[in-house]
Amino acid sequence: MTLEAKIPEGPLAEKWSKHKFNLKLVNPANKRKYDIIVVGTGLAGASAAASLAELGYNVKAFCFQDSPRRAHSIAAQGGINAAKNYQNDGDSVYRLFYDTIKGGDYRAREGNVYRLAEVSVNIIDQCVAQGVPFAREYGGLLDNRSFGGSQVSRTFYARGQTGQQLLLGAYSALNRQIHLGKVKMYTRTEMLDVVTIDGQAKGIVTRNLITGSIDTHSGHAVLLCTGGYGNVFYLSTNAAGSNVTAAWRAHKRGAFFANPCYTQIHPTCIPVTGDHQSKLTLMSESLRNDGRVWAPKSVEIAERLRKKEITADQVAEDDRDYFLERKYPSFGNLVPRDVASRNAKEMVDDGRGVGGSGFAVFLDFADAIHRLGKDAVAAKYGNLFDMYYQITDEDPYKQPMRIYPAVHYTMGGLWVDYNLSTNVPGLYALGECNFSDHGANRLGASALMQGLADGYFVIPYTLGDYLATIGPKPVDANHPAFAQTKQDVMARINSLLALKGTKTVNEYHRDLGHIMWEYCGMARTEEGLAKAKGLIHELRADFWKNALVVGENEEVNPALEKAGRVADFLELGELMVDDALMRRESCGGHFRLESQTPEGEALRDDDNFAFVAAWEYKGDNQPEVLNKEMLDFEFVHLTQRSYK
């Protein structure tokens, strides 16, 4: 099958405008005849649902949380990029485009990324109009800060909770439409399958998480805005509930899954303390604006630190290795996430890790506190420092933070074309759920940008084209496909409930996470990946024999919810390993030890791997088929990424 990305011809800067003009429109009177299903209410979902309802479509929105406001977009801390150039420091749409393409290690589409940079400026305007309280200067205008992978200050922020503020903005727009009756909101409702009729997505099957009722919903189009799959690693910065089920079910109904091995490991997270741990907490990348990353120069000193014989402040300046500043003088501590993470891992592998477990390096604010004063540092990062203190019981004003990389974001996702449509007509994927804009590594403060760009400024245009094509004829909710899909869902639930083995679902999840982190984490090898494939295979087989799922369907049953999600992670994990095995190059977050430069940087193989890997599901226990979408670079020149 050939993958048609539908990127418009013409100069980069005109592609989107031209495309918008060429898209078909739905006349205002007809819009109310269309029903749109939006799954997920994070930045992408809430903004899409609200914007489409504003246009006049009837929207049904779904989330598994108790309120749309709780989607995990809320946890984003640092900020959102936009090419406003308010700081007069040389930013432009083209520079944001270029930084993003380069940051993604040349594995994203030029057209998509340029559009993202182009609409980034509208996002800020939109959010301010909604009452999002961004940080401001004394003159009353908006403030910016810098983030990794760029040399300009283009990140807008709301202290350490930009994600919550942006989500509350989108949530308020959504609330307005719920109030007006244009959006019907279903909370505590999990999507468990997509209904396709003649190859087109026409609805979904959901489970009410309170009553267990399995219901079908029909619509002219289905938008999946269900986030990423980082929880396949068990420990990640994702929310406990974040899962791949919606995207995976869509994949099994025909939607291609692209670049699953591209996962982002965030360099600054609070290190793991023990096996009981359920979640890793991120310390915002913005901390690297003022914090200096270091490890002891010698293994001996590291050893003494680990044994708590000395404390960090007793390590002399000469015995400290500020390795990011040393290796990357021009970007310093603000190198992209994949680079920072890999270097931290290198220190630990070298025996120079600190903290009780040795799996950590320092993020030190002593200089910043000395230079700016404690109050100024507290004003900038106070809530993050408090959070660190709560979790570790160590005061970061007095001692440097201990940080270590953790799984944070997944660049891979459902394959979509320029219109955000998957290869299944009528099925769209927005935000982290799709694969489109970040290539092999996402730059900080770009996830919020992409989620909102998709929801506010892309889908309202591109969806209309498809809807105009299919026409406003109502979807036949009595079509046998609905009953059949519902049947499939119930059968699967029953098979999960029939599992009365001896091992809890959570243990399987943890085991899977260990395998993924060990073999498909920050550094991957042919051998390790092959081993992981076997291990996951065994684990999955064992799950379906030995797992223990308590309770029944017709009640609140988190054990059942979790079982369904972990079962999907077990399948996804194998695909990720397949993808990582296939991609015999290093790029961005995907680091194959076999492919590195003499300095230990990711070495791409553009001749053989400048493509999007879109995997096609072929049935249970059948190998998935690889479809390649070649990446054409007309405007940027592919080079070895350098942040020196």
Partner 1 sequence: MNLTLKVWRQKNADAKGAFVTYKAEGISPDMSFLEMLDVVNESLILKGDDPIHFDHDCREGICGMCSLYINGRPHGPKRAITTCQLHMRSFGDGETITIEPWRAGAFPVIKDLATDRSAFDRIQQAGGFISVNTGGVPDANVIPIPKVIADEAFNSATCIGCGACVAACKNASAMLFVSAKVSQLGMLPQGQPERYSRVQAMVAQMDEEGFGNCTNTRACEAECPKEITLTNIARMNNDFFSAKLFREEHAHEHASGE
Among positions 59, 168, 247, 301, the unique one binding partner 1 when judged by CB under 8 A: 168
Residues 500-519 binding partner 1 (CB under 8 A) are 502, 504, 506-507
Report, in Å, the least distance between residue 41 CB and partner 1.
11
Report, in Å, the least distance between residue 352 CB and partner 1.
24
Nearer to partner 1, 211 or 597 (CB): 211
Task: Select the span of 126-134, 333-341, 401-409, 606-614 touching partner 1 (CB under 8 A).
Answer: 126-134
Report, in Å, the least distance between residue 562 CB and partner 1.
10
What character string, x for contact with partner 1 (CB under 8 A) and - otherwise, covers 145-164? -------------xx-x-xx
Of 539, 457, 466, 545, the closest CA to residue 499 belongs to 545
Report, in Å, the least distance between residue 514 CB and partner 1.
17
The active-site residue, picked from 337, 402, 442, 604, is 337
Residues 264-283 binding partner 1 (CB under 8 A) are 273-274, 276-279, 281-282
Nearer to partner 1, 67 or 478 (CB): 67
Of 32, 144, 36, 171, the closest CA to residue 89 belongs to 144
Residues 442-501 binding partner 1 (CB under 8 A) are 456-457, 460
Report, in Å, the least distance between residue 178 CB and partner 1.
5
CA atoms within 13 A on the CB side of 452: 32
Residue 148 phi, psi (nearest 5): -60, 150
Structure tokens at 615: 């995997």
Residue 625 phi, psi (nearest 5): -100, 135
Residue 93 phi, psi (nearest 5): -55, -40
Structure tokens at 305: 């630190």
Structure tokens at 47: 């903004």
Indicate if 337 belongs to the active site: yes
Report, in Å, the least distance between residue 561 CB and partner 1.
11
Nearer to partner 1, 196 or 237 (CB): 237
Strand stretches in 45-106, DSSP E: 58-62, 80-81
Nearer to partner 1, 241 or 439 (CB): 241
Report, in Å, the least distance between residue 270 CB and partner 1.
10
Q: 452 exposed, middle or buried (CB, 10 Å; 0-12, 13-18, 19+)?
A: buried
Nearer to partner 1, 129 or 483 (CB): 129
Among positions 30, 87, 92, 130, the unique one binding partner 1 when judged by CB under 8 A: 130
Nearer to partner 1, 399 or 506 (CB): 506
Task: Select the span of 64-72, 427-435, 585-593, 598-606 touching partner 1 (CB under 8 A).
Answer: 64-72
How many residues make contact with partner 1 (CB under 8 A)? Answer: 83
Residue with tokens 């057209």: 111
Report, in Å, the least distance between residue 84 CB and partner 1.
7
Nearer to partner 1, 21 or 138 (CB): 138
Among positions 127, 244, 347, 576, the unique one binding partner 1 when judged by CB under 8 A: 127
Task: Select the span of 385-393, 439-447, 535-543, 630-638 touching partner 1 (CB under 8 A).
Answer: 385-393
Task: Select the span of 120-128, 245-253, 297-305, 616-624 touching partner 1 (CB under 8 A).
Answer: 120-128
Residues 297-356 binding partner 1 (CB under 8 A) are none
Structure tokens at 631: 């990446």
Nearer to partner 1, 377 or 529 (CB): 377
Element spanning 169, H or E: helix 162-179
Nearer to partner 1, 69 or 524 (CB): 69
Query: Which amino acid, one-letter code, is at 368?
Result: A
Residues 409-438 binding partner 1 (CB under 8 A) are none
Of 508, 11, 513, 434, the closest CA to residue 236 belongs to 513
Regarding 628 and contact with partner 1 (CB under 8 A), the answer is no
**The three-state (H, E, C) secondary structure of 355-408, written as one string:** CCCCCCEEEECHHHHHHHCHHHHHHHHHHHHHHHHHHHCCCCCCCCEEEEEEEE
Of 301, 299, 341, 304, the closest CA to residue 324 belongs to 341
Element spanning 561, H or E: helix 558-582
Regarding 139 and contact with partner 1 (CB under 8 A), the answer is yes
Helix then strand count (H, E) for the chain reads 19, 21
- Report helix, strand or coil for 504: strand
Task: Tell me the torsion sign for CA atoms 121, 123, 126, 131.
Answer: negative
Report, in Å, the least distance between residue 378 CB and partner 1.
14
Among positions 325, 386, 465, 606, the unique one binding partner 1 when judged by CB under 8 A: 386
Report, in Å, the least distance between residue 644 CB and partner 1.
34
Residues 183-242 binding partner 1 (CB under 8 A) are 185, 187, 210, 237, 239-241
What pairs with residue 100 in β-bridges?
A: none
Report, in Å, the least distance between residue 46 CB and partner 1.
12
Among positions 137, 313, 350, 527, the unique one binding partner 1 when judged by CB under 8 A: 137
Strands 320-321 and 427-429: unpaired
Residues 392-411 binding partner 1 (CB under 8 A) are 393
Task: Select the span of 7-15, 134-142, 310-318, 330-338 touching partner 1 (CB under 8 A).
Answer: 134-142
Regarding 72 and contact with partner 1 (CB under 8 A), the answer is yes
Nearer to partner 1, 173 or 520 (CB): 173
For residues 48-79, one letter each, b for 16 or more C-beta atoms within 10 angstroms of the residue's C-beta and e for the rest, the string is bbbbbbbbbbbbbbbbbbeebbbbbbbbbbbb
Among positions 69, 533, 583, 590, the unique one binding partner 1 when judged by CB under 8 A: 69
Strands 58-62 and 35-39: parallel
Distances (CA, A) of 185 to 38, 66, 207, 546: 10, 11, 14, 37
Residues 578-607 binding partner 1 (CB under 8 A) are none
163 within 8 A of 75, measured Cβ to Cβ: yes
Element spanning 201, H or E: strand 200-208
Nearer to partner 1, 43 or 258 (CB): 43
DSSP 8-state assignment for residue 475: P
209 within 8 A of 189, measured Cβ to Cβ: yes
- Report helix, strand or coil for 153: coil
Q: Cα separation of 229 and 343, whole Å?
A: 24
Residues 533-562 binding partner 1 (CB under 8 A) are 548, 550-551, 555-556, 558-559
Active site residues: 337
